[in-house]
């Protein structure tokens, strides 16, 4: 049976588990929210860099002398900005994954073993209770047998004392009538009844002692059973609390996995953006640069807050193209307009 100190230790552990799980849940939600917010902010900043590239290639970009240094500088700025976007996606996803690992570790290394430990204690206490119940039945049987034996000796002692009294009376009457000459020996304890009475009194005293001991044993067993039942009730309450926490832990694990799934696309978006920016270099022509910028716009439209920057880049490329816009560029513009429409921009 677990001692009170063990119960207190387990209850303290449960309180710590509750606090820890709450902290993990709130931490995971905050990390995911911060990651998405910071991701969008960094992506907005990167899109301003993309806009500078769009401005740089306006009008007859292919027909004028190329400023490779300026082009490389703008491309590098855009690359660095998008790398920061990617780093933020990576760090946010990693943070949530760490929270997932924490809750799994807490459940696997602490909560479940503690629950198993308490169940083992409860199983042991239930076995002890069953054994005590059997012992109590045997002890109560001894009480009944000792009580019956004691009553039997009491009855025999009364019968013997009554018999002695009758014999005494008969002998006295005979002596008084002269039927018995000389002195008379009474039937008291010094007479023939003495050994019988002494043996009965000894037997009665012994049976009373056995009865008292069996009663004491019965009370001790009853008290012990009450303690065990109380212990089992406490263990049941602890298991109920642990079951709630384990259920919460599973819910938090599922929540963390959902957050990971929500942040996963951010990392994918960052990867696509970095692939597109590789096409933006000093050796590229205007059509390829425009396509790369519009591809970036398509991939960047993951939130309505990016629509202003994307609209600016699209308008710059179309309105300031410096001639008829090629079909391949217009097709990309159509894709951008479709994404803008999905976000409520007409």
Interior angle at CA 62, CA 61 and CA 67, nearest 5: 65
**Is the model's pLDDT at 191 over the cut of 70?**
no
Helix 327-342 × helix 286-300 angle, to 10°? 10
Q: Tens digits of per-residue pLDDT, 280-311?
A: 887 889 999 999 999 999 999 999 999 999 99
**Residue 34: partners with Cβ closer than 8 Å, 6 or more residues away:** 92
Count Cβ neighbours within 10 Å for each residue of 266-288 and write b for 16 or more, e otherwise.
Answer: bbebbeebbebbeebbeebebbe
How far is the CA of 308 from the CAs of 44, 51, 334, in angstroms? 9, 11, 17
Round to whole Å and give the CA distance between 11 and 245.
12
**Is the model's pLDDT at 314 over the cut of 60?**
yes
Domain with 162 in it: 4-342
* 19: number of Cβ within 10 Å: 10
pTM, to two decimals: 0.73
* pLDDT for position 308: 95
Q: Tens digits of per-residue pLDDT, 74-107?
A: 999 999 999 999 999 999 999 999 999 999 999 9
* pLDDT for position 5: 80
* pLDDT for position 190: 47
Total structural domains in the chain? 1
Round to whole Å and give the CA distance between 39 and 215.
78
pLDDT level of residue 179 (50, 70, 90 thresholds) = low
Whether residue 46 contacts residue 79, with contact meaning beta carbons closer than 8 Å, is answered with no
Mean pLDDT across the stretch 129-144? 94
Distance separating the N- and C-terminal Cα atoms of the chain: 73
Mean pLDDT across the stretch 334-345? 92
In the block, residue with structure tokens 């590789």: 278
Round to whole Å and give the CA distance between 333 and 330.
5
Q: Tens digits of per-residue pLDDT, 204-254?
A: 999 999 999 999 999 999 999 999 999 999 999 999 999 999 999 999 999
Round to whole Å and give the CA distance between 68 and 282.
5
* pLDDT for position 1: 53
345 Rama sector, left if φ>0, alpha if ψ -120 to 50, beta otherwise: beta
Whether residue 256 contacts residue 26, with contact meaning beta carbons closer than 8 Å, is answered with no
The DSSP symbol for 304 reads G
In the block, residue with structure tokens 């047998």: 145
Q: Tens digits of per-residue pLDDT, 28-79?
A: 999 999 999 999 999 999 999 999 999 999 999 988 888 899 999 999 999 9
Closest CA to 270 of 33, 73, 52, 35: 35
Q: Across all residues in the chain, what is the average pLDDT? A: 90
Q: Say whether 302 sits in a helix, a strand or coil.
A: coil
**Is the model's pLDDT at 345 over the cut of 70?**
yes
């Amino acid at each position: 049976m677990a001692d009170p100190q063990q119960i207190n230790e387990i209850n303290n552990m449960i309180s710590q588990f509750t606090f820890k799980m709450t902290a993990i849940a709130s931490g995971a939600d905050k990390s995911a929210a911060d990651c998405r917010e910071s991701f969008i902010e960094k992506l907005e900043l990167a899109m301003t860099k993309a806009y500078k590239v769009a401005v740089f290639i306006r009008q007859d970009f292919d027909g004028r002398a190329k400023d490779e240094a300026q082009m490389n500088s703008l491309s590098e700025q855009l690359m660095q900005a998008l790398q920061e976007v990617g780093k933020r996606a990576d760090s946010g996803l990693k943070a949530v994954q760490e929270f997932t690992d924490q809750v799994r570790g807490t459940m696997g290394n602490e909560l479940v073993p503690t629950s198993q430990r308490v169940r083992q204690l409860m199983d042991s206490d239930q076995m002890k209770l069953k054994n005590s119940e059997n012992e109590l039945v045997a002890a109560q049987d001894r009480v009944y047998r000792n009580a019956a034996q004691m009553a039997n000796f009491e009855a025999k002692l009364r019968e013997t004392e009554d018999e002695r009294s009758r014999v005494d009376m008969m002998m006295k009457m005979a002596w008084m009538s002269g039927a018995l000459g000389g002195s008379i020996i009474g039937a008291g304890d010094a007479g023939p009844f003495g050994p019988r009475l002494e043996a009965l009194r000894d037997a009665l005293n012994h049976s009373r002692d056995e009865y008292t001991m069996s009663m004491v044993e019965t009370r001790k067993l009853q008290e012990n059973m009450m303690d065990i039942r109380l212990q089992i009730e406490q263990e049941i309450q602890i298991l109920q609390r642990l079951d709630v926490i384990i259920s919460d832990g599973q819910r938090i694990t599922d929540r963390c996995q959902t957050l990971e799934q929500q942040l996963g696309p951010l990392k994918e978006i960052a990867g696509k953006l970095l692939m597109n920016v590789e096409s933006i270099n000093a050796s590229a022509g205007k059509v390829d640069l425009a396509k790369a910028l519009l591809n970036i716009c398509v991939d960047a439209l993951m939130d309505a807050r990016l629509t202003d920057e994307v609209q600016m880049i699209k308008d710059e490329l179309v309105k300031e193209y410096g001639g008829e816009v090629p079909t391949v560029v217009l097709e990309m513009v159509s894709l951008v307009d479709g994404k803008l429409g999905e976000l409520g921009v007409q």
